[in-house]
């Protein structure tokens, strides 16, 4: 079982609950807590530099504002920055977010190992998730496994690239020119138009601004 865990959670009661579960139900004793993402990042970096790294990160997605200016304000940013230091660390997201699309996107974009929705069965789900991740499994919550797969959007790297370019304000024609210049294919106007149109349909977006807003809300950008 994991022996050293970092918990990033800004609500004290939830934080204490996670620690108690790790202690009593899973048998993990070496646990460090952080109420803010920057604090969690600093603790992780220090442990890594001292060659006594954390094996598992359990983090919420949203954090309340602090009186201090925070470099990282979300669990997504925390995961991304920690993974830059240690790409192999196991990550479990523990959040109230229950939308299948957003949860699925976190697995796709951040390559997280497990997800637990806060709720009635959260303690049992968290224990099962930790045990599954330790075994090397990817642990999806019931919110995803029980969802209609036809309604879950799956994006590939090319879709993500298009969304990033649109978010930067480039038009479809400008994206085509950029792809051709960089010799990235497919790069035909018809292909880009079809892919962008599909993104509009998938996310039910009215225009590019709306599409970018939706995608950012889902944590893709």
Work out the average pLDDT over 30-54: 95
CATH number for the domain that contains residue 81: 3.40.50.2300
Q: Are residues 127 and 22 in the same domain?
A: yes
Q: Are residues 16 and 118 in the same domain?
A: yes
Q: Are residues 143 and 192 in the same domain?
A: no
Q: Are residues 53 and 130 in the same domain?
A: yes
Nearest to 93 by CA among 25, 83, 85, 68: 83
Q: Is the pLDDT reported for residue 150 higher than 70?
A: no
C-alpha 172: how far from its chain's center? Answer: 28
Euclidean distance between CA atoms 196 and 34, whole angstroms: 40
Number of domains the chain contains:
2
pLDDT tens per residue, range 176-188: 999 999 988 899 9
Q: Are residues 66 and 167 in the same domain?
A: no
Q: Which domain holds residue 212?
A: 155-217
Q: Are residues 142 and 179 in the same domain?
A: no
Predicted confidence band of residue 199 (pLDDT cuts 50, 70, 90) = very high
pTM passes above 0.85: no
The neighbour count for residue 151, using CB atoms within 10 Å, is 9
Q: Are residues 64 and 14 in the same domain?
A: yes
Q: Are residues 68 and 91 in the same domain?
A: yes
pLDDT tens per residue, range 162-172: 999 999 999 99
């Amino acid at each position: 079982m994991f022996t050293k865990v970092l918990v990033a959670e800004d609500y004290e009661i939830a934080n204490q609950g996670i620690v108690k579960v790790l202690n009593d139900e899973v048998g993990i004793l070496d646990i460090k807590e952080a109420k803010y993402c920057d604090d969690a990042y600093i603790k992780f970096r220090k442990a890594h530099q001292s060659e006594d790294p954390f094996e598992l990160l359990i983090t919420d997605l949203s954090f309340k504002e602090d009186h201090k200016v925070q470099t990282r304000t979300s669990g997504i940013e925390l995961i991304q920055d920690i993974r830059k230091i240690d790409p192999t660390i196991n990550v479990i997201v523990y959040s109230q977010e229950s939308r299948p699309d957003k949860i699925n996107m976190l697995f796709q974009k951040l390559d997280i190992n497990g997800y637990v929705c806060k709720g009635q069965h959260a303690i049992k789900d968290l224990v099962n998730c930790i045990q599954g991740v330790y075994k090397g499994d990817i642990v999806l919550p019931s919110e995803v496994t029980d969802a209609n797969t036809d309604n879950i959007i799956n994006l590939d790297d090319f879709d993500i690239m298009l969304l990033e370019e649109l978010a930067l304000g480039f038009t479809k024609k400008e994206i085509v020119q950029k792809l051709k210049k960089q010799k990235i294919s497919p790069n035909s106007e018809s292909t880009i138009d079809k892919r962008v149109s599909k993104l509009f349909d998938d996310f039910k977006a009215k225009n590019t601004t709306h599409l970018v807003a939706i995608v950012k809300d889902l944590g893709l950008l």
